[in-house]
């Protein structure tokens, strides 16, 4: 199955930042096999389907390197408050998080993924609580993601042991996933974790 896509501009973002105006892309069996200037394409070639985008720019998908996808649910709640202060953080974000339930996350993650896809993001790095409620929605979106189990242990050994066990189970659950990579990440030691938890994360085997 071969598909030809023709567009006004194709920006490759390769090592030499090739720009084709107008340009074409050939896709064979769901993989890009050719990119080039339209005038270089043999007009006699046959393709199973052709997509013409005369007014569009095509480029590689964007990567969101830092997000907390469920927190789209908090949008607008911090208006008038600075989240660069402990007062703003604890009296706004923490107040909401303390009444959250795991089942609330699915809707937020779904909205976040939809917004990222709509604006050209195809891969993101995420960290939050209840990661087992986040993974299914990310899989449905078909996006690539690096997902981090947000460890919260508040300096308590029993909580630390429980969290580390849950984090290990999470990492096992995404092993071999073609689109999702698991990651470990205790939240900041000055908020949710002791320095011991941070040290464990730094020395944990990959």
CATH number at residue 149: 3.20.20.140
Region 70-90: mean pLDDT is: 83
On whether both 101 and 165 belong to a single domain, the answer is: yes
Same domain membership, residue 80 and residue 154: yes
**At 196, which helix (H) or strand (E)?**
helix 195-203
Same domain? For 157 and 122 the reply is yes
Q: Shortest CA distance to 148 belongs to which of 164, 171, 169? A: 171
Residue with tokens 């993001």: 121
With a cut of 90, say whether residue 93 has pLDDT above it: no
- pLDDT on residue 52: 96
Note whether 32 and 134 are same-domain residues: no
Mean pLDDT of 47-75: 94
Q: Do 39 and 78 belong to one domain? A: no
Q: Residue 7's domain is classified under what CATH number? A: 2.30.40.10
Q: What are the structure tokens assigned to 70, written together?
A: 């469920």
- Are 43 and 65 in contact by the 8 Å Cβ rule? The answer is no
190, pLDDT greater than 60: no
**What are the backbone dihedrals phi and psi of residue 119, each rounded to the nearest 5 degrees, phi first?**
-105, 15
CA distance 52 to 24: 9
pLDDT of residue 33: 95
Nearest 5°: CA angle at 142, between 166 and 9?
Answer: 140
Domain around 128: 62-203
User: Which tokens is 198 given?
Assistant: 């941070």
Mean pLDDT, the chain, whole residue set: 87
Q: Which of 58, 77, 101 is the C-terminal boundary of a domain?
A: 58
Is the pLDDT confidence value at 183 over 70?
A: yes
For the CA atoms of 26, 29, 33, 38, the dihedral, rounded to the nearest 10 degrees, stands at: 0
pLDDT (mean) for 176-186 = 88
Same domain for 69 and 110, yes or no, is: yes
**Same-domain status, 199 and 129:** yes
The mean pLDDT value for 65-82 works out to: 88
Task: Give the residue, 94 or 34, on which the prediction is more confident.
Answer: 34
Residues 18 and 43 in one domain: yes
Q: What is d(CA 173, CA 169) in angstroms, rounded to the nearest whole number?
A: 6
Of 58, 77, 93, the residue that ends a domain is 58
More confident residue, 81 or 120: 120
Say whether both 46 and 66 belong to one domain: no
- Check whether 76 has a pLDDT greater than 90: no
| pLDDT over 70, % of the chain | 88
Task: Examine residue 22 and say whether the peptide bond preceding it is cis (omega within 30 degrees of 0).
Answer: yes
Residue-wise pLDDT tens digits, 13-25: 888 899 999 999 9
Provide the domain count of the chain. Answer: 2
Confidence grade of residue 200 (pLDDT, cut at 50, 70, 90): low
- Residue 83 near residue 92, CB atoms below 8 Å: yes
pLDDT at res. 72? 92
Nearest residue to 21 (alpha-carbon basis) of 59, 63, 61, 51? 59
Both 33 and 87 in one domain: the answer is no
């Amino acid at each position: 199955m071969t598909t030809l896509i023709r567009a006004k501009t194709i920006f490759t973002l390769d090592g030499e930042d090739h720009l084709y105006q107008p340009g074409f892309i050939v896709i064979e069996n769901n993989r890009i096999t050719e990119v080039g200037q339209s005038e270089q394409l043999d007009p006699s070639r046959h393709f199973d389907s052709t997509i013409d985008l005369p007014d569009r720019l095509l480029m590689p998908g964007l990567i969101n390197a830092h997000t907390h996808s469920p927190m789209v649910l908090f949008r607008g709640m911090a208006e008038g408050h600075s989240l660069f202060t402990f007062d703003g953080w604890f009296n706004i974000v923490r107040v909401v998080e303390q009444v959250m339930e795991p089942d609330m996350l699915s809707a937020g993650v779904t909205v976040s993924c939809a917004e990222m896809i709509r604006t050209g993001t195809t891969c993101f790095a995420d960290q939050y609580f209840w990661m087992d409620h986040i993974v299914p929605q990310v899989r449905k979106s078909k996006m690539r993601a690096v997902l981090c189990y947000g460890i919260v242990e508040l300096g308590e050994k029993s909580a630390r042991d429980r969290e580390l066990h849950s984090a290990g189970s999470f990492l096992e659950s995404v092993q071999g996933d073609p689109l999702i990579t698991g990651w470990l990440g205790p939240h900041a030691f000055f908020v949710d974790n002791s320095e011991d938890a941070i040290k464990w994360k730094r020395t944990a085997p990959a």
